[in-house]
Every structure is written in structure tokens, then in C-alpha cells.
Structure 1
Amino acid sequence: MALCEAAGCAPSLRWPRVLLFGDSITQFSFQQGGWGAALADKLVRKCDVLNRGFSGYNTRWAKIILPRLIRKGGGTEHPVVAATVFFGANDSALKDENPKQHVPVDEYLANLKSVVRYLKSAEVPEDRIILITPPPLCEPAWEQECRLQGCRLNRLNSVVGDYASACMQVAQDCGTDALDLWTLMQQDGQDFSRYLSDGLHLSPEGNEFLFSRLWPLIEKKVSSLPLLLPYWRDVAEAKPELSLLGDGDH
């Protein structure tokens, strides 16, 4: 049987997806040791993990681009089984020091709700969505970065905390899961600076911290997913197409 004929006889595989939507902390998550890379490794041959992180973006821009990333009615062949929404590190920039990225906290809250509403309209219900708060800000380290860029300190940890609270409020109002990274990393007065590479972005230890808290939330959404296509020892030796062109759920 010719290859194209064989393929034509088999149903196409429904390859589920996990969507990671966020700013630079999401964009960088596929770097070595990143939390997104760890998710992709955990879920290999069960679903694709899509990195849709955009460095420097805030929720004002995020809600504009989201319809270009996931379209309504397109989830039949590649259903989104889980989605993380991880913004706030840029929204919380101080207006006087960084007006381009700054988004007022009330608007940030409304924008997050818009993102959740759109995802629901695109067949990603609230029980598949996880909102992640921005991590805490280590002001001394980030101030050094700002000076290197020729500007003054443009974020404050206390202000980031206001955005984290707003994010948690959206999760409660919308019925989604949430991961309060800002609070968890500062729990019991621990030194959270080790979780950050430059005061803002995650260090290797910070990536590990995030993954260890996020995975239980993801796992409960994907636990029923089968391994796609048979284990190699289970492939029929004489006629492999009998194994490989079935429903693919093994």
C-alpha cells in the first residue's frame, strides 16, 4: 500500500494542546531548565505545549492579539486541554517611569477577564484555565538592571502585589484555577531573590519552583490523556500499519 493511500485510510490524530499565554516569563520558559520546557517533557506524546509568550507585553496588548493565536471553532482537531494566562510583570510597571508598559490595576483586572471570556468562547472552559500572578520583584537587583538600561527603578514589589491580588480576584470571579506566585515565593518571609535571575525574571531555581506548583494543576486536567500512537514494542511486526493506522490511543 502506498504511503499516501495508507495515510488516507486512517483518521487524523487529535493532538491536544496546552497553551502558555503570557509575557517574557512565558517566552523564556522554553529555555534550558525552563518551566515550559519541563511541561513539554512531561507531556510528550500526549499533547503539544505551545509557547505563546511575548516579551514586554501587557494585558492591554494581550487581549488584542489573542484572537490571532486561537480562533473560535478551531478546537476540534487540536483541543486546548489546559491554558495558562501569566501577565502582570509589565502591567505593574510604574506609570511615571514606564508609561508604555504600565496598565492601571483596574484595567488589568478587566483585561484578564476579557482574556478568560475569549478563551471560553474559543472552547476553552474556565476549568481548563490557570491564571498565574506575577512573581515578586527583588527591587535592588531590578534597580541594577534599570541603571544598566539608563533608567530609574520602574517597578515596586508592593505594587506588583496589588496586581497579584487583582489576578486572584479574577480567578475567583471567573471560576478558574490560580497560582499565586507572588505570595508563594515570599511565604514565611523567605528570601525570594534566589528565584529571580535579575530581580524580575525567573532563575533556574525560580523555574523549578513554578513548575513544581503548576504541574499538579496541569496534571489534573491532562491525566486522562492517552499516549498517542503505540509503544514501539506493541507495533505489529508483520503489518505495522495495523497498529499505526488505528485510533492512535495507546
Structure 2
Amino acid sequence: MAVGPAHDPRASSCQRADTNNILTPPQLLPYPQIVLFGDSIIQGATDVSSGFSLQAALQAQVVRRFDVVNRGFSGYNTSNALSVLPHIFAPPTPGSPELKYLFILFGANDACVPLPTNFQRVPLDKYRENLTRIVNHPNITAHKPRIFLITPPPLDQIRVTVLDMANGHPAAARHTKVSAVYSEAARQVAAANPGVTLIDLHKAIMDRAIEKTPGFNPNPKGPALGDPEGGRRGYLEHLLPDGLHLSAESYRIFYDLVRPHVGTEWAGTRDEERAAYVLPDWRDAPWLEEDAHLKGKSL
């Protein structure tokens, strides 16, 4: 995917680096990549100001094995994503890093309702089509990555209405019920495309909100939390502070959904702690052979 130095096709990202040949002759070793591709929810995964960063947590999980690359674009919908995709994901070449994992999250902007003050909406059928085109784009599939499609999170329309009208919109630009329909469409796309794994962020966040809202009994036919018809935000006010974007707690929920899928290549292997390092652990580093007195000692 991304720009990078020459990749040694003999090396597998699931194996420890070849300690005998890694320095002779010198060669640059690009790290395989985990790419987060989406809208402002993904862009915000870099933020540490609230005390938790999904991207930092994921990078810590795979440090020395993968680079976690953020390609989040605030305000983008799936049509925008398709326009920029060829500029972000190039077909694999001998000089580019491997794209090993791809996490895709779009839909919060596609699900905007028609307003004269907002132009982000993508009709539902087009949204499905766009997601399908993204997960099957040849620039992506050529890398043979593991692809994860994430449902857009729920919406607190009660909070969104206040902020949208304060920002000059005649009404809320997003509706709770509409956002839920787009999340269901993402589930359908994941189910219809073999090799695409669903991560249901919408359900996980809503489940937490229901669990933490005393006295709220969800009814599949009734209004959800955040829906003006029910008039109750409940715990969504802690999970979606502005009604749309995730709090630190929500990003932790998001990370807990992602974490089990990453690192399965080396889980349970011998020397799991340092398996699949791109560059060897100091105890295995070939240059230590020249310093025999250091062997077995901590630095």
C-alpha cells in the first residue's frame, strides 16, 4: 500500500527475521501495515487528549511487527473514499510494504438526511454499492489483506439536533433511525462478500449504552436511546459526547472488538513474545555474536 523501501519477498511477516542475513548485505526492511481507512471516527483514533487512543493501543499490540497507518478523513462518505482510494492504496510492488490488515469504517456521513445546508448524503443503495466496490477494489485485493468492515456507530439525535441547529442547519443533519439502517447495510455487505469480516461497532456501543442506562428496556419496535421519539439519551451521552463522535470509552469498546483479530499469526507460537519481529530481538541479534561477553546479560 504505502510508500516504502524495498521488501525482501523471501521474508514472511509471520516469521522472525533471518538473523544470519539481515545485515549482510545491508537492506531496508519495511514493516507490514495495518491500515485504518474511514471518516472522522477513524481520524479521531489518533487522538490521545481524552486519555485513550485506539491507534496507539493497536500499535502497542503489534509494535516491531506492523506499522499502524491512519487514513481517516473527516467528513468523507463512501463516494469520496472511492475517489481517493487509488491515491492511497497502490498495487503491491517489490518496493512497497505488505498490506496485511485493512479496517474500513464509513457511513456516518453517507447517512445524512437531505438538507439544503449539507451535501454529504449518499443514498442507501449507493452506499451498499460503494462499500462493495471498496472491499473488492483491485488495488486492495491484490495485497490479499484481511479485510474488516465496521458498522458506523449509533447516533444520539437528541444531542446532534442541538449542535446542528446551533451551527446553522434548519434541523438535525442525521437521524437515529436512518443511521441504524446504514449500519444494517454495512452488515449486509460484509455478509455478502466472502473474506470480509464484520466488526459490529454499532451494536457494541448501543449494548453498552443500554447496559448503563438504568430503567431502559429496549424494544425492537420502539425508539432507541438518542431518538427524539423516546426523548432519552441515557448513557449515550457518555459514549457519544457530541452525539456523533466517540468518547474514550467508546474507542476502548472499538479496540476490544479489533484486538482479537490482530496477531493471530504468532499467537500460541514458540517465543510468542517476540515472534514475527521485523528486526530481531536483542537476544537474537547477529551483532551480539561479536560481543560474546554480553550474551545472557541484560542491557
Would you say same fold, with TM above 0.5?
yes
Q: Is the 8 A contact 1:19 1:50 kept in 2?
A: yes
**1:209 aligned partner:** 253
Letter paired with 2:197: D
Q: Distance in 2 between the 1:238 and 1:157 partners?
A: 62
RMSD: 2.4
Q: 1:36 aligns with which of 46, 55, 76?
A: 55
Deviation at 1:97, TM superposition (A): 5.5
Q: 1:232 aligns with which of 282, 286, 292?
A: 282
Q: Does structure 1 residue 148 correspond to structure 2 residue 166? A: yes
Q: Distance in 1 between the 2:101 and 2:73 partners?
A: 19
Q: 1:12 aligns with which of 14, 28, 45?
A: 28
Q: Does structure 1 residue 178 correspond to structure 2 residue 198? A: yes
Q: Does structure 1 residue 167 correspond to structure 2 residue 211? A: no
Q: Could you report, residue by residue, the CA deviation over 1:17-59 in whole angstroms, capped at 9, with x for unpaired residues?
A: 0011000011111111121221112111111111000000000
Deviation at 1:139, TM superposition (A): 1.4
**2:244 aligned partner:** 200
Q: Distance in 2 between the 1:24 and 1:69 partners?
A: 17
Deviation at 1:14, TM superposition (A): 4.1
SS in 1 for 2:264: helix
Q: Distance in 2 between the 1:199 and 1:91 partners?
A: 16
What TM-score results when the alignment is normalised by the length of structure 2? Answer: 0.71
Q: Which runs of 5+ in 1 are unaligned?
A: 1-5, 241-250
Letter paired with 2:98: P
Q: Which runs of 5+ in 2 are unaligned?
A: 1-21, 212-234, 270-274, 292-299
Deviation at 1:144, TM superposition (A): 2.5
**1:52 aligned partner:** 71
Q: Distance in 2 between the 1:91 and 1:221 partners?
A: 35
What TM-score results when the alignment is normalised by the length of structure 1? Answer: 0.84
Letter paired with 2:162: Q
> Could you tell which deviates more after superposition, 116-125 or 208-217?
116-125
Q: Distance in 2 between the 1:96 and 1:149 partners?
A: 13
Deviation at 1:74, TM superposition (A): 3.3
Deviation at 1:181, TM superposition (A): 1.3
Q: Distance in 1 between the 2:110 and 2:94 partners?
A: 30
SS in 1 for 2:152: coil
Letter paired with 1:59: T
Q: Distance in 2 between the 1:120 and 1:171 partners?
A: 19
Larger radius of gyration: 2
Q: Is the 8 A contact 2:62 2:263 kept in 1?
A: no
Letter paired with 1:44: V
Q: Distance in 2 between the 1:216 and 1:22 partners?
A: 20
Deviation at 1:119, TM superposition (A): 5.3
More helix by share: 1
Deviation at 1:121, TM superposition (A): 5.0
Q: Does structure 1 residue 136 correspond to structure 2 residue 136? A: no
**1:24 aligned partner:** 40
**1:245 aligned partner:** none
SS in 1 for 2:137: helix
Deviation at 1:184, TM superposition (A): 2.0
Q: Is the 8 A contact 2:39 2:72 kept in 1?
A: yes
**2:17 aligned partner:** none
Deviation at 1:202, TM superposition (A): 0.4
Q: Structure 1 residues 122 and 49, CA, compared in 2 at 3 Å: closer, same or farther? A: same
Q: Does structure 1 residue 187 correspond to structure 2 residue 207? A: yes
Letter paired with 1:68: H
How many residues align structurally? 234
